[in-house]
């Protein structure tokens, strides 16, 4: 049903801080020469964990595109957890942009993935035949860094620390295998948890 989705407004915060990563690496907080590199590692590690989980960790705006409304009274949204729906716009039968009234649907956030559910007293509108006939804009991810589960933060720190300490390919297969096994266990815990 969902044809494409992408982040339209990137996160403004990360689940771990530079100070937390420095503590993980045992780098003195007063040492600043690698700060830019470390901040980049936090972002790339968070993105890697999001890709592995198929979920969004920190608050960001996502736009999902559909080619038509479903025959059912609901459709699922990718990249959970979804906190709110900003708008549902669509191209009507004349290919003119319209907004589906927010009073005509609700967000069911008790299931995973979350669903947009239309009210029983309304129908989905007819749309023009195009791949991007419908655009759903919504907020996904945990509202604050404090709300991110500790196990997810631990994996992000592990990945960032491993990349920092082993720039390029690691010569230590044992270290790599240990880190990957630990990350796999932590990620599996969070895959099965309702975010």
Specify the pLDDT at position 60.
Answer: 92
What's the pLDDT at 145? 92
Total domain count, the chain: 2
Write the pLDDT tens digit of every residue in 39-76.
999 999 999 888 888 888 999 999 999 999 999 999 99
| Residue after which a domain boundary falls, among 121, 140, 159 | 140
Asked if pLDDT for residue 194 goes beyond 60, the answer is: no
Note the pLDDT of residue 112: 80
Domain containing 129: what range? 60-140
Q: What is the pLDDT of residue 98?
A: 98
- Residue 172's pLDDT is what? 59
Give the per-residue pLDDT at 190: 63
Q: Which of 102, 118, 140 is the last residue of a domain?
A: 140
* Residue 110 and residue 165 share a domain: no
- State the SS3 of the chain: CEEEEEEEECCCCCCCCHHHHHHHHCCCCCCCCCHHHHHHHHHHHHHHHHHHHCCCCECEEEEEEECCCCCCCEEECCCCCEEEEEEEEEECCCCCEEECCHHHEEEECCCCCCEEEECCCCCCCCCCCCCCCEEEEEEECECCHHHCCHHHHHHHHHHHHHHHHCCCCCCCHHHHHHHHHHHHHHHHHHHHCCC
125 with 154, same domain: the answer is: no
Q: What's the full length of the chain, in residues? A: 195
User: Each residue of 129-183: pLDDT tens digit?
Assistant: 999 999 999 999 998 999 999 989 998 998 898 888 877 655 556 556 656 666 6
Arithmetic mean of pLDDT over the chain: 87
Q: What gap in Å lies between CA 86 and CA 8, rounded to an integer?
A: 12
Report residue 195's pLDDT band, with 50, 70 and 90 as the boundaries. very low
Q: What is the phi/psi pair of residue 76, to 5°?
A: -90, 150
2 falls within a domain:
no
Provide the whole-model pTM: 0.77
Report the percent of the chain where pLDDT is more than 70.
85
- Tell whether 102 and 124 lie within a shared domain: yes
Residue 180: which CATH number? 1.10.3230
* pLDDT over threshold 90, residue 97: yes
Q: Does residue 11 register a pLDDT over 90? A: no
| CB-based contacts of 118, cutoff 8 Å, min separation 6 | 73, 74, 104, 105, 124
Q: Which residue has the higher pLDDT, 6 or 156?
A: 156
Which pLDDT value is given to residue 181? 67
The region that residue 163 occupies, defined by phi over 0 for left and psi between -120 and 50 for alpha, beta otherwise, is: alpha
83 and 99, same domain (yes or no): yes
One domain for residues 78 and 107: yes
């Amino acid at each position: 049903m969902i044809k494409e989705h992408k982040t339209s407004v990137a996160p403004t915060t990360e689940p771990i801080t530079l100070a937390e990563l420095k503590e993980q690496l045992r780098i003195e907080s007063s040492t600043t020469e690698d700060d830019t590199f470390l901040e980049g590692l936090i972002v790339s590690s968070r993105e890697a964990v999001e890709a592995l989980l198929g979920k969004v960790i920190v608050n960001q705006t996502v736009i999902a595109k559909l080619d038509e409304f479903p025959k059912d009274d609901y459709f699922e949204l990718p990249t959970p957890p979804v906190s709110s729906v900003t708008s549902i716009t669509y191209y009507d039968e004349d290919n003119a942009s319209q907004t589906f009234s927010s009073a005509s649907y609700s967000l069911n956030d008790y299931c995973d993935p979350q669903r947009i559910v239309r009210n029983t007293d309304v129908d989905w509108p007819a749309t023009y035949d195009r791949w991007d006939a419908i655009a759903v804009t919504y907020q996904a991810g945990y509202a604050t860094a404090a709300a991110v589960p500790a196990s997810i933060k631990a994996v992000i720190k592990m990945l960032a620390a491993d990349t920092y300490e082993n720039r390029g390919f690691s010569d230590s297969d044992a270290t790599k295998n240990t880190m990957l096994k630990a990350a796999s266990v932590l990620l599996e815990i969070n895959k099965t948890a309702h975010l």
